[in-house]
Chain A
């Protein structure tokens, strides 16, 4: 198995808030290899966007890494100087956000910005950068790239903007692309097209992709491996087929069970998980999911669950799961 391009090891991160701190990530370890698509699934507040931001070192100023390392192509990026970290972003690792409007400046044309994004490419003439930008827009499926180059972001449709944002991210040929909810703001039809595009680009460029989403359909369509997060922890990690056909952690099972797209018979009523996320300003001593879990025992509430290995690339953070 090839070396991971990007790995997060025992990362803990908290956000300082008035009167305390919120443990947004607790001991998270995850790795993505070249040419692999890793999905990070979970519900709002589980820490998946924080994890994505930490991978590219874009966490807010109130965030504090309390332990762990983030390794990109072998280097611990958290130990680098701010200048060196900045050089990595865009060049070795790039990000696509949920709302592509926020990825672009509203006052410059798409073309001007795509040229600017290549400022790291020394020795390349402006005209050459323009041509690369235009070609990349064509590559991501904009039917009239020359026209799009001259448009302002608000003049493009949501789907076209997201394509342009993907083009911007890929311009520097990064080894890792991180996409945070890349299709959430789009219609079903656009979503299907962006999923299709990411799959094609991944095959062409062989970069590693990390997709953060709460949409299980997108995970199933696109990912090779999945990490399911709950309350700041990775509770299950598995190859995509195993996750959907043999989920082992009770949370993963519950999450899959309440997706209406997975329920064949039309029913008026859907299964729900019930209860709510634990308060992460004082995380529980035992398993974070215990209060909502159907099979929890006293042991689950008392002691932190072990990470149980379940075969290659598979593990679950649970007292009750059998190896």
Chain B
């Protein structure tokens, strides 16, 4: 089977403008490599500022990259025309569903706009809009509504319908359920699962909601300050996280059971600014296991077997003892 999306050693640097034009460019993403198979769901996880959204934008050619290579369905993407072509086959669901819809366009216009953008003839836009809305469980009358008349869940469905318009192979969903109630969240996730089955879609789901990725993702990639720190099958990562950051993220999630309250803090401090990237391992400033080597030597993303990799000096030896030390500090 051909890999649907392949990312190799992707770097994104932002040049600074104005007074800072002479300053060194800011490194946002560094050496990111990922593969996404057809029909697979990959969860991209990390805190705000870890580079998740930038990665999605870079894949679609919406963000200039400074290094690395990209392939979609076996073909390498190099020229702007290549990216325009893949934007027909890879759709983006934006983070804020209501804000991503133009307030001056009706729902019907919004869901059929992709055809106009890519200059694809549609025999009857009304029928097409109704068809797309039906696909996501919305009645055809909805086509005449404006975004401000929609509930959060409806706006999200419209976002899904718009993403599906051109029958993409890949849907990149940026925080697909942020701000939704749990019951509506379940509706949207179930809808996405149905559509995946029906159309054989692949998903790249960007989120900081671990409970969500645990249920929907086949594999997970964890980003910290623009570098992958751990990748692998979802089940294996949740059962046995090898990077201390992944472990802290999982532990930090509030448990919906008062009998499992944490007395201590799973993770201290905030993600450092990219303006002041820590030396050595970038997580050492917050890592409960950090030793001298971590402050000096940046660890490499190492293969730890069974389709997993982790960027930690102690990933291999992260045994029960290591976990014990982390949890009982």
Contact = CB atoms under 8 A, between A and B. Distances in A.
Given A187-B208, A266-B215, A269-B190, A258 B183 contact: yes
B193 A269 contact: yes
Given A187-B48, A269-B190, A44 B256 contact: no
Contacts of A78: none
Interface residues of A, number: 46
Contacts of A250: none
A214 B180 CA distance: 9
A234 interface: no
Nearest to A263: B215
A119 B244 CA distance: 46
Interface centre among A44, A157, A221, A261 (most CB of B within 10 A): A261
A270 B265 contact: no
B300 interface: no
B106 interface: no
A146 B165 CA distance: 53
The prevalent SS among residues of A at the interface is: helix
A260 B211 contact: yes
Given A217-B253, A262-B256, A189 B248 contact: yes
A167 B239 CA distance: 38
Interface in B212-239: 212, 214-216, 234-235, 238
Contacts of A260: 182, 185-186, 189, 211-212, 214-215
B191 to A, nearest CB: 10
B258 interface: yes
B261 A221 contact: yes
B325 interface: no
Interface in A172-219: 184, 187-193, 195-196, 214-219
Contacts of B260: 220
A263 B255 CA distance: 11
A241 interface: yes
B142 interface: no
A74 B83 CA distance: 66
Contact of A214 (B182, B209, B238): B182
A121 B248 CA distance: 42
A268 B265 contact: no
B254 interface: yes
B186 A272 contact: yes
Interface in A224-278: 240-241, 244-245, 254-256, 258-263, 266-273
B222 to A, nearest CB: 12
Interface string B257-268: 111111001111
B35 interface: no
Interface centre among A192, A195, A215, A220 (most CB of B within 10 A): A192
B231 to A, nearest CB: 17
A245 to B, nearest CB: 8
A188 B255 CA distance: 11
A43 interface: yes
Nearest to A277: B151
B320 interface: no
B58 interface: no
Contacts of B268: 193
Nearest to A199: B261
A192 B183 contact: no
A259 B182 contact: yes
B94 to A, nearest CB: 18
A39 to B, nearest CB: 10
A159 interface: yes
A135 B267 CA distance: 24
B249 interface: yes
Given A189-B47, A192-B265, A218-B254, A270 B181 contact: no
Contacts of B186: 258, 260, 270-273
A187 B265 contact: no
Contacts of B262: 192, 196, 221
Interface string A282-302: 000000000000000000000
A72 B20 CA distance: 54
B252 interface: yes
A138 to B, nearest CB: 16
B22 interface: no
Contact of A191 (B193, B254, B257): B254
Contact of B270 (A190, A221, A223, A258): A190
Contacts of A184: 179
A122 to B, nearest CB: 37
B297 interface: no
Contact of B257 (A159, A189, A220): A220
Nearest to A186: B48
B159 interface: no
Contacts of B189: 260, 269-270
A220 B183 contact: no
B150 interface: no
A268 B235 CA distance: 13
Given A44-B181, A189-B47, A221 B190 contact: no
A67 B42 CA distance: 52
The 6 A-B residue pairs with the shortest CB-CB distance, nearest first, are: A217-B254, A261-B211, A43-B181, A270-B186, A272-B186, A192-B252
Interface of A: 43-44, 157-160, 184, 187-193, 195-196, 214-221, 223, 240-241, 244-245, 254-256, 258-263, 266-273
30 contacts: A43-B183, A157-B270, A159-B270, A187-B48, A189-B252, A189-B266, A191-B252, A192-B254, A192-B265, A196-B262, A216-B182, A218-B254, A220-B254, A220-B255, A221-B254, A221-B255, A241-B259, A244-B259, A245-B257, A259-B211, A260-B182, A260-B185, A260-B215, A261-B256, A262-B256, A268-B216, A270-B215, A271-B186, A272-B183, A273-B183
